Amino acid sequence: MSEPAAPIPAPLAAPRTDLTDGEWHRLHPATPVLRGGIFMVAIIGFIIANLRERLVDLFLGEENYRGDPIDAIYERGAAGWALLIVAGVLLVIIGVFYLSWRMHTFRVTGEIVEVRSGVVFRSNRKARLDRVQGVNLARPLIARLFGAARLEITVAGQDGNVQLAYLGSKLADDLRRDILHLASGLWQARQPADLPGVPAAAAPTPIVPATAPPAHTALGDFATARYNEFRAPELDPDAAPPESVVRIPPGRLIGSVVLSGFTVFLLLAGVGLIVSVVAGSSGWVLVAVLPGLLGSVGYYFSRITKTLRFSIAGTPDGVRVGFGLLSTSSQTLPPGRIHAIKVSQPILWRRFGWWQVSINTAGQAAGRSSAPATSANILPVGTLADVEKVLQLALPGFDTDTQRALVENGLLGGHKRDAALADFYSNAPARAAWLRPFSWWRTGWAVSDQVAVIRRGVLSRDLILVPLARMQGVRISQGPVRRRLRLASADLHTVAGPVSASLPVIDVDEALVLFEWMSTGAVRSALADTTHQWSRAGKPSPAREAAE
């Protein structure tokens, strides 16, 4: 922990937008077009494709078209009717778009975010701000070109998102900040007290009008603004701390994607294919497999572009993870919203010393429609030093010397190797080799400062960290085989996600110890936990101190 200096009061930041006044507001006027983005592009493409020859004809005067629908209409003298129908359809579409825009309103009060939408079928979504699991600012490519962004407020549960799609880019940035401040309890906590120590420089900024992107006087201004936004997805230097703590060189990123299990599978498939062709099977196999191979290229491409501009940084309101090259996304995870962390190293990465970090959060919905939304990977690939930095962000305060050693031991060690070093884990006994012949010496657990740590696996080295304040329950179990070996297995229950915190083998007596530790620890740290309104906690979080 950092030094407990005299608590410097945070500058009483005024809301940046007047959207948090509890009144109903409307979204960006281009919203319907952006929401139906692909659909619109398809329609326009269809029309252009059909009109191409006619346009060519218009300019070159060649009459080489016969028999297209437009021609038929023209010949039958129904041009007037056709135009009327087209105009009517257009009017209806515009009318529907306008109506849906008008009826789509949202409001943000001190406690909730609420969205109303729908013309015929009205829907109404409300999210409590102290239950916010994350705020995600996504900019799909088309919306980005228009200077719009989508703000998603994630709450727990499947499909439990409140979407504000779309808002002006700048506005979305400001609104994210305001929502996070409201959710953190910062304003409620500080406004009543008259703060004498507020530095004059940090006087409340004047409220920016709701039409934050200023009226562009010329098309040139508009283009410049768009260009600048495109280059710097995080517009607000105050809301986005300058530097990501981790840089991923493109070489490492490409290497990590290439050296994945998927590649192994692909190689095996390729070998199988060659063998089958050599062995004289018909070309049908090739026809069947080739599309898959082409698809895999797309997979590599999307994996790489998605993580190409990865960044992770600490903000006063939590960890901010950004990624995406064309469509960008930047996700803010407030403190205490991470339910489990896994640091792992697939065997192919071992030579390079690369690791990845993934997390469980309560807001991970199963089916996502739009491309890059939230990601469970808070470090796609990084070195040991990167892992340490990311863990410090994800688990603030978990950085005493012992804990550092714990993490390093968990990643690299095992009680067989490095006999000279102290191993802080309580490991599975040697007889566990019957069940885990390769990894038993790495299978162990520890608890330190309200965080349970599980080390396991040798093919893929895993280290799992579960904050006890987030743990949902603990289970120990034993079947006949483990009973003969005087072993048991243990599971820490967390919310759904890529991380499963289970310990496959553990000594029987130790399993009981683990059970008591985890169950009492979970209750105690849940009682001590104040992260639902993180700024109201007694002491300011280290990240906030650092930022001020």
Partner 1 sequence: MPDLPDVNQPGALPPVPHDVAESADRPEPSARLELPETGDWMRVSPKYVLVEIVGTIVNAVVVCGGASLLWLLLDQTWALWVGIAVLVASIINLVFEPRRVRSIGYLLRGDDLLFRRGILFQRFVAVPYGRMQLIDITRGPIARWLGLADLKFVTAAATAGVSIPGLAEADAESLRDRLVELAESRRAGL
Of 118-157, binders to partner 1 (CB under 8 A) are: 130-131, 133, 156
Closer residue to partner 1, CB minimum distance, 169 or 443: 443
Minimal distance, residue 227 CB to partner 1, in Å: 41
- Determine if 112 is a binding residue for partner 1 (CB under 8 A): no
Q: Can you tell me which of 30, 387, 522, 543 binds partner 1, judged by CB under 8 A?
A: 522
Torsions phi, psi for 456 (to 5 deg): -165, 165
Q: What distance in Å separates the CA atoms of residue 259 and residue 255, rounded to the nearest whole number?
A: 6
Q: Can you tell me which of 109, 191, 302, 520 binds partner 1, judged by CB under 8 A?
A: 520
Contact 176, 187 (CB under 8 A): no
Q: Hey, how many other C-beta atoms are within 10 angstroms of the C-beta on 495?
A: 18
CA-based nearest residue to 320, from 260, 374, 357: 374
Q: What distance in Å separates the CA atoms of residue 349 and residue 30, rounded to the nearest whole number?
A: 45
Site residues for partner 1, 273-292, by CB under 8 A, read none
The piece of 10-18, 46-54, 303-311, 516-524 that touches partner 1 (CB under 8 A) is: 516-524
Minimal distance, residue 433 CB to partner 1, in Å: 12
The DSSP H or E segment spanning 108 is: strand 105-108
- Determine if 532 is a binding residue for partner 1 (CB under 8 A): yes
Site residues for partner 1, 426-455, by CB under 8 A, read 426-427, 429-431, 445-450
Q: What distance in Å separates the CA atoms of residue 369 and residue 22, rounded to the nearest whole number?
A: 29
Closer residue to partner 1, CB minimum distance, 106 or 425: 425
CA-based nearest residue to 531, from 404, 403, 394: 394
Contact 335, 398 (CB under 8 A): no
Q: Can you tell me which of 475, 539, 546, 548 binds partner 1, judged by CB under 8 A?
A: 475
Contact 371, 305 (CB under 8 A): no
Minimal distance, residue 486 CB to partner 1, in Å: 5
Q: Can you tell me which of 468, 505, 537, 543 binds partner 1, judged by CB under 8 A?
A: 468
Residue matched to tokens 């309101």: 317
Closer residue to partner 1, CB minimum distance, 293 or 513: 513
Closer residue to partner 1, CB minimum distance, 234 or 510: 510
- Counting every residue written for the chain, the total comes to 548
The piece of 87-95, 188-196, 282-290, 473-481 that touches partner 1 (CB under 8 A) is: 473-481
Closer residue to partner 1, CB minimum distance, 168 or 336: 336
DSSP, residue by residue, 32-75? HHHHTHHHHHHHHHHHHHHHHHHHHHHHH------S-HHHHHHH
Burial annotation 12-31 (CB, 10 A radius, 16+ → b, else e): ebebbbebbeeeebebbebb
Site residues for partner 1, 327-356, by CB under 8 A, read 336, 339
- Determine if 160 is a binding residue for partner 1 (CB under 8 A): no
Q: Can you tell me which of 186, 378, 518, 543 binds partner 1, judged by CB under 8 A?
A: 518
- Determine if 510 is a binding residue for partner 1 (CB under 8 A): yes
